[in-house]
Chains A and B, each alone.
Chain A
Amino acid sequence: MNRSLRPLLATTLIFLLAYLLAVTQQPAMLSTRVLGNFLTDNAFLGIAAVGMTFVILSGGIDLSVGAVIGFTTVLIAVLIMWLDLHPLLAFAIALGVATGFGAVMGAAIHYLRVPSFIVTLAGMFLARGGASVLSPDSIGIDHAFYKVIQKSYVLLPGGGRLTVVGMIMLAVFAVAILLAHRTRFGSNVYALGGSETSAALMGVPVARTTIGIYALSGFLAGLSGVVFSLYTSAGYSLNALGVELDAIAAVVIGGTLLTGGYGFVAGTFIGVMLQGLVQTYIVFDGTLSSWWTKIVVGALLFMFILLQRLVFRAGPRRT
């Protein structure tokens, strides 16, 4: 068997086992309704996690994701409710701002030669602060377009609902898989994560790729903000607090190597679903308190990191 596929396979297997275990405890969980809700409830996390996958594949990290989601929801709410723009125009503006924000962070990381950790930390402060300067209070969005979107869904066999939000996430994953594995940009991201020096010597445009990666992460965080806005019909500066951590956890659980250069976008999808499964199970059970989610996600994170170390024991070590 292809050795490099092992972590992805392990993740898939663990997800299936966990789902099976959950179903034996709570038979009601085996339905397309639950699956449909999985997709809807985790759509914003999934979209943000795709951006994080590219960043981690390139050997970096993006801590600004949650803050950019929060900022986007506030910006959209302000544009729609205060300036009376059409939601689609507001979405376009918000996506543009988020992409530009990511591109600037990428440029700072490349040209100032500072760790992505600290640049995106500044980005996180700036986006959260900017959001609360725009509006410290939550702004409800009341618009006909939102109601139409929220009410449209595709009925799955078994009564499950595939909502627009869920479809956006699936589409993002599909495009991202093609982008990562079938385009030059994707190959450049992997090369950069393997070794920046070697990538530069091979002729990979390091500056353009780095800026592109963080712009992509910013764009997807913005899109995640759009989805969050559709999901909650509100803009609030403290929305999506700590989502960057959930996204990083999803990426790691999905089998992407933290040192960069190795991983699959599809794995991230399973990572997101596994986190959703833990949450749904705890809701179904009813007797477990919500803090168990944090502990279980932490334990999963640890388990997968351990797994990666075992699989890559013989591989290259970090310096």
Chain B
Amino acid sequence: MTRQTVDLRPNGQPPVPRPRPVAQVLMRPQVIALAAVLGVNWLLFPGFFSITWQDGRLFGSLIDVLNRGAPVAILAIGMTMVIATKGVDLSVGAVMAISGAVAATLVSAGVSAPVAVLAALAAGLLCGLWNGVLVTVLEIQPIIATLVLMVAGRGVAQLITEGTIVTFSDPVLIFIGTGAFLGLPMPVVIALVLMVAATLIVRRTALGLLIEAVGVNRSAARFAGLSAGAFLVAVYAFAGVCAAIAGLIVAGDIRGADANNAGLWLELDAILAVVIGGTSLLGGRFSIPMAVLGAIIIQAMNTGILISGFSPEFNLVVKAAVIVAILILQSPHAALLVRRLRGLQSGAGK
């Protein structure tokens, strides 16, 4: 069946991308952008690339960029899939707060850490299922459907923590946020494993193709025999679990659950990361590794602005400029211009 649905892809690529030459991957605009941002950071702070080995783990600004970028990268993995189905999930920040609150409250009530972690992940799954049902069964626009949980979610998280910041000293939860595995910080390891697993599952099976099919045209996908509804629910549930993982990392990092500030506005960073990664907001084409790269670019910019001595708020202006640049590059007019510059016939463009 998967072979027959190939035509649903807008550009007619084969469903399983062949390994590309390294040079082609390095020429991607995202890779060039990351190199440029890192280069600027290096000019501002000559010790930027120095990495040292200490106490059984790596230390350095570069490692720090990866570590700080991990929560957004994990959110971006889930968000990529949601956006590929022509949706968006605004609730991930609130879900992070809920998962942190669940884990912290359970652990401080004496529950063992693995159970608390599982409960937090289950809470994320439940939130994701709720979003999925709203989008599929009730056919509510994804922006608005997830807005409900974005508004109410923080209230629920505060209800769980009873309005306080619940602190804990459980070694397992703290290890998730600050520990190290094979010298790499735990958040980076988790993000890496999640990225590789998600990419393999999506690209080595027909799943990615089916998600793209639903995103490009849901009705057509349904007529082609896909149970589009089930796919959508699963995708939102996955995004919820990703948010729960990110919430655990943030809670472990600060050794407490802050229902007000955990994951605040991170949904917007995650969407930005996905857009930088080249996934179309109109559904269809998507790339998980590129979205993760987008999250790292955002964090590298954050770090660069911090070490250059600008106020952190300046970040927002830079982010806005980045979005505008991407929008202009992605717009049909820009494509038309490029086509004209290349001297090709421009009948198809609008």
A: residues with CB less than 8 A from B are 61, 108, 111-115, 117-119, 121-126, 128-130, 132-133, 136, 237, 245, 248-249, 252, 258-259, 289, 291-295, 297-299, 301-302, 305-306, 309, 317-319
Q: Which residues of B approach A to under 8 Å, CB–CB?
A: 88, 134, 138-141, 143-145, 147-156, 158-159, 163, 218-219, 259, 268, 271-272, 275, 281-282, 311, 313-321, 323-324, 327-328, 330-333, 350
Can you give 25 A-B contacts (C-beta < 8 A)? A112-B327, A112-B331, A114-B331, A118-B275, A118-B281, A122-B319, A122-B320, A125-B319, A133-B311, A136-B311, A136-B313, A245-B151, A249-B151, A258-B141, A259-B141, A291-B259, A294-B152, A295-B159, A302-B134, A305-B134, A305-B144, A306-B138, A309-B140, A317-B139, A319-B219
Q: State whether A297 and B323 are in contact (beta carbons under 8 Å apart), knowing that A126-B316, A133-B317 are contacts in the complex.
A: no
Give the shortest distance, in Å, between B255 (CB) and chain A (any CB). 22
Q: Which 6 A-B pairs have the closest CB atoms?
A: A298-B152, A129-B316, A294-B155, A132-B313, A129-B317, A126-B320
CB distance A252 to B320 under 8 Å? no
Contacts A122-B327, A245-B151, A295-B152 given; 19 further ones with Cβ under 8 A? Answer: A108-B324, A112-B327, A118-B323, A121-B268, A122-B324, A126-B320, A129-B313, A130-B317, A133-B317, A136-B311, A249-B147, A289-B158, A291-B154, A295-B156, A298-B155, A302-B152, A305-B140, A305-B145, A319-B219
Chain B residues, Cβ within 8 Å of A294 = 151-152, 154-155, 158
Say yes or no: A309 contacts B155, CB within 8 Å.
no
User: A259 CA to B144 CA in the complex, in Å?
Assistant: 10
| Known contacts A114-B327, A121-B323, A259-B141: A248-B147 contact under CB 8 Å | yes
Chain A's interface: helix, strand, loop or mixed, by majority? helix
Q: How far is the CA of A126 from the CA of B272 in the complex (A)?
A: 14
Give chain B nearest CB distance to A214 CB in angstroms: 15
| Docked complex Cα distance between A133 and B312 (Å) | 10
Q: With the chains together, A317 CA to B333 CA distance in Å? A: 30
Cα A205 to Cα B158 with chains together (Å): 48
Complex CA distance for A122 and B141, rounded to whole angstroms: 21
Task: With both chains docked as a complex, state the minimum distance between the C-beta of A243 and any C-beta of chain B, in angstroms.
Answer: 12
B148 touches A111 (CB 8 A): no
Alpha-carbon gap, A292 to B163, bound state (A): 11
Given the interface pairs A132-B316, A258-B141, A317-B139, the reply to whether A118 lies near B327 with Cβ below 8 Å is yes
Return the chain A residue nearest B268 by Cβ: A121
Question: B143 — which chain A residues lie within 8 A by C-beta?
Answer: 61, 117
Specify which chain B residues have a CB less than 8 angstroms from the CB of A295 in the assembled complex. 152, 155-156, 159
Is B311 a contact partner of A114 (Cβ separation < 8 A)?
no
Assembled-state Cα–Cα distance A130/B333 (Å): 28
Most buried by B among A132, A252, A291: A291
The answer to whether A291 and B158 have CB atoms under 8 Å apart is yes
Q: Are A237 and B324 in contact (CB under 8 A)?
A: no
Evaluate contact between B163 and A289: CB separation under 8 angstroms: yes
Contact check, B328 vs A112: say whether CB atoms are below 8 A apart. Answer: yes
A249 nearest in chain B by CB position: B151
Q: What is the CB-to-nearest-CB distance from A220 to chain B, in angstroms, rounded to a whole number?
A: 20
Q: Which residue in B152, B272, B315, B328 is a CB contact (below 8 Å) of A299? A: B152
Q: In this complex, what residue of B is CB-closest to A294? A: B155
Smallest CB gap from B145: residue in A: A305
Q: How far, in angstroms, from A111 to B224 measured CA to CA in the complex?
A: 34
Residues A112 and B333 in contact in the complex (CB < 8 Å), given A132-B313, A298-B155, A305-B140 = yes
A67 to B327, CA, bound (A): 20
Please give the distance in Å from B262's CB to the nearest CB on chain A: 14
In Å, the complex CA distance between A297 and B153 comes to 11
